């Protein structure tokens, strides 16, 4: 059953892009289409990062362990929308002016944060293959914890760029906070268990998440 | 020649009526475009002739102004659906709808502070103080986009001269309506309400400073600051306060809303200046709505005639 859901999910993840293209062809992007594209792809990136991060808590809390088979695709979609977002900046905002962009990255905090969020996603996308997972073993999971920092940098990027209305970036920050807090709680609980007796708990945890 | 019978034509081949009707619009637009090219009027002007638009009331007896630019006018639809008007919403596409039922009559403007006579003026009284002019100005937002708008109004100095500020008055302060029932954006403390802006007296008396109550030959639409606002084309858009209910003359520099909100980012002067960046983004370029490539931003937004107001001032400090 879950196997058939995956292609559906694949297509569903393309909906934000499809909507954007549709709006583009139906004068739905408003007076400043490039700004609309930038905002839309940026939002999609953050949403996919947060959805990816919610898989682990969700599968454990609902005992739907098969959900793990969705995580890679969701993460890669975050990278996909992040790439589109970056491309709108590189192409439509800066028109490939490398000097200008380097100046921006060094000088503008929100660009620095956004660029950090993107760069941190690169190794995760590159090591998302089965082969890389096998090859890296335990280190794979260590490496993929970078997503916490990528998502945090992404949310900070948003907070730092708005003029006065923090409502939307703070909504993202709240969701991210909850998702990260869950991990802290799990980590503390695992430590307490380990302290109480066997040291095997954490190893079970690892093999389970890789399944 | 093969003539298909009616039943041979699949319904999918029939052009939907709406598209068919659009065809006429397209043809009309093409014809207008041709005519516009031939006669030299701007395309957007031609497609949006001032007789067809929403706000309704046409303003008669418009005088031309030598301050007007000949640059292409931004389409009416963009100027009315891309509004930074936080009193209604922080989303630019929302004020058009949220301001639909905004009441602009009756409307009083309180004149107080250091003036000979404190008074309340009816907006229709103010509008009649001088003949209306059409001023086609560039308008540059602090966010890095710009538009060209045919505003209607007259120099702010016309009003100021008539209300006689005392010699002690060094500044003039403008306050926007505070009414969170009509302006839902004021229900959230995104900015300190009501919105306040200010000018130095000599800035306010400069003939470019416009007291504005119309655009595109008609009454000002609600989402663009109706019934009365100011337009300061050499300053970033946020200086040009909308829906003004109070004009106060003072000897102290007014505390303007955006400056209170983020003093390092928005100053009192807020002159368009490509050499002084916003702390978070460059001001060297701007995107004119409707254009693909960015264009360089001009000092004082190209209105060099105001430069003498600021001679001897460090514009990096007085941003």
Verify that B73 and B28 share a domain, yes or no.
Answer: no
CATH of the domain at B222: 3.90.420.10
pLDDT confidence band for B55 (50 / 70 / 90) = low
* Chain B contacts in chain A segment 11-50 (CB below 8 A): 30-32, 34-35
Long-range contacts of A131-135 (CB under 8 A, 24+ apart): A133/A210
Mean pLDDT of chain B: 88
Predicted confidence at residue B35, as pLDDT, reads: 41
**What are the C-alpha distances in Å from B197 to residues B74, B162, B233, B259, B260?**
26, 21, 15, 9, 11
Alpha-carbon distance B120 to B126, whole Å? 10
Verify that B26 and B137 share a domain, yes or no.
Answer: no
- Helices A201-210 and A167-196, interaxial angle, to 10°? 130
Residue B5 lies in a domain: no
Q: Is the pLDDT of residue B48 over 70?
A: no
Q: Is the pLDDT of residue B186 over 50?
A: yes
Predicted confidence at residue A1, as pLDDT, reads: 64
Mutate to test the interface with B, among A111, A163, A165, A166 (most CBs of B within 10 A): A163
Verify that B303 and B281 share a domain, yes or no.
Answer: yes
Tell me the nearest-neighbour CA distance from A165 into chain B, angstroms.
6
What tens digit of pLDDT does each residue of B67-78 get? 999 999 999 999
Q: Is the pLDDT of residue B120 over 80?
A: yes
Q: Is the pLDDT of residue B285 over 90?
A: yes
Domain count, chain B: 2
Verify that B106 and B19 share a domain, yes or no.
Answer: no
Predicted confidence at residue A194, as pLDDT, reads: 85
Verify that B34 and B68 share a domain, yes or no.
Answer: no
Predicted confidence at residue A197, as pLDDT, reads: 63
Helix (H) / strand (E) containing B154: strand B145-155
Verify that B115 and B245 share a domain, yes or no.
Answer: yes
- Divide the 211 residues of chain A into consecutive groups of 10 and give the mean pLDDT of each group: 85 96 91 95 98 96 92 97 97 92 91 97 96 93 96 97 93 98 94 72 46 38
Instruction: Identify the closest residue of chain A to B191 by CA–CA distance.
Output: A164
Interface ipTM: 0.82
Verify that B90 and B129 share a domain, yes or no.
Answer: yes
Residue B4 lies in a domain: no
**Neighbouring residues of B191: CB distance < 8 A, sequence distance ≥ 6:** A164, B86, B257, B258, B261
Residues above pLDDT 70, as percent of chain B: 83
Residue-number span of the structural domain to which B20 is assigned: 15-47
Predicted confidence at residue B205, as pLDDT, reads: 98
Residues above pLDDT 90, as percent of chain B: 81
Verify that B131 and B232 share a domain, yes or no.
Answer: yes
Tell me the nearest-neighbour CA distance from B292 into chain A, angstroms.
8
Verify that B200 and B264 share a domain, yes or no.
Answer: yes
Instruction: Identify the closest residue of chain A to B292 by CA–CA distance.
Output: A92
Tell me the nearest-neighbour CA distance from A194 into chain B, angstroms.
47
Verify that B191 and B227 share a domain, yes or no.
Answer: yes
CB contact under 8 A, A165 and B190: yes
Residue B298 lies in a domain: yes
Segment B160-183 mean pLDDT? 97
Identify the weakest region by mean pLDDT among A115-124, B7-16, B44-53, B268-277.
Answer: B44-53
Verify that B41 and B73 share a domain, yes or no.
Answer: no
Verify that B42 and B65 share a domain, yes or no.
Answer: no
Residue B9 lies in a domain: no
């Amino acid at each position: 059953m879950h196997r058939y859901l995956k292609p559906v999910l694949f297509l569903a993840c393309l909906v934000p892009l499809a909507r954007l293209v549709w709006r583009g062809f139906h004068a739905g992007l408003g007076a400043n289409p490039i700004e609309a594209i930038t905002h839309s792809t940026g939002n999609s990136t953050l949403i996919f990062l947060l959805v990816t991060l919610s898989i682990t808590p969700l599968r454990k809390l609902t005992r739907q362990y098969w959900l793990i088979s969705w995580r890679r695709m969701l993460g890669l979609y975050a990278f996909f929308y992040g790439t589109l977002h970056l491309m709108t900046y590189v192409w439509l905002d800066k028109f490939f002016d490398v000097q200008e962009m380097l100046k921006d990255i060094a000088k503008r905090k929100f660009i620095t944060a956004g660029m950090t969020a993107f760069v941190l996603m690169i190794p995760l996308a590159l090591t998302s293959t089965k082969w890389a997972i096998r090859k890296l073993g335990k280190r794979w999971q260590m490496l993929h914890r970078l997503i916490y920092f990528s998502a945090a940098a992404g949310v900070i990027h948003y907070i730092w760029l708005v003029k006065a209305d923090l409502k939307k970036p703070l909504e993202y920050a709240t969701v991210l906070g909850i998702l990260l807090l869950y991990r802290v709680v799990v980590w503390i609980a695992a430590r307490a268990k380990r302290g109480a007796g066997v040291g095997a708990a954490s190893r079970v945890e690892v093999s389970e998440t890789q399944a | 020649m093969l003539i298909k019978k009616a039943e041979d034509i699949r319904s999918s081949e029939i052009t939907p009526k709406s598209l068919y009707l659009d065809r006429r619009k397209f043809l009309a637009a093409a014809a207008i475009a041709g005519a516009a090219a031939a006669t030299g009027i701007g395309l957007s002007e031609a497609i949006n002739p001032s007789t067809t638009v929403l706000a309704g009331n046409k303003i008669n007896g418009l005088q031309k102004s030598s301050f007007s630019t000949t640059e292409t006018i931004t389409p009416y639809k963009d100027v009315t659906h891309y509004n930074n008007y936080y009193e209604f919403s922080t989303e630019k596409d929302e004020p058009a709808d949220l301001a639909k039922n905004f009441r602009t009559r009756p409307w009083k403007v309180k004149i107080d502070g250091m003036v000979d006579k404190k008074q309340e003026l009816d907006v229709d009284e103010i509008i009649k103080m001088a003949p209306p002019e059409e001023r086609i100005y560039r308008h540059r937002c602090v966010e890095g986009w710009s538009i060209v708008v045919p505003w209607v109004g007259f120099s702010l100095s016309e009003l100021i001269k008539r209300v006689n500020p005392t010699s002690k008055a060094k500044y003039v302060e403008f306050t926007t309506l505070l009414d969170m029932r009509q302006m839902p954006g004021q229900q959230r403390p995104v900015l300190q309400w009501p919105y306040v802006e200010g000018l130095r007296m000599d800035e306010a008396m400069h003939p470019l400073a416009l007291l504005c109550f119309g655009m595109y030959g008609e009454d000002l639409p609600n989402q663009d600051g109706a019934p009365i606002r100011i337009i300061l084309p050499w300053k970033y858009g946020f200086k040009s306060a909308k829906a003004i209910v109070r004009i106060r003359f003072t000897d102290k520099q007014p505390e303007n809303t955006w400056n209170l909100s983020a003093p390092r980012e928005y100053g009192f002067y807020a002159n368009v200046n490509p050499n002084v960046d916003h702390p978070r983004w460059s001001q060297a370029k701007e995107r004119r709505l409707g254009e693909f490539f960015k264009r360089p931003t001009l000092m004082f937004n190209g209105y060099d005639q105001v430069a003498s107001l600021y001679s001897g001032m460090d514009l990096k400090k007085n941003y």
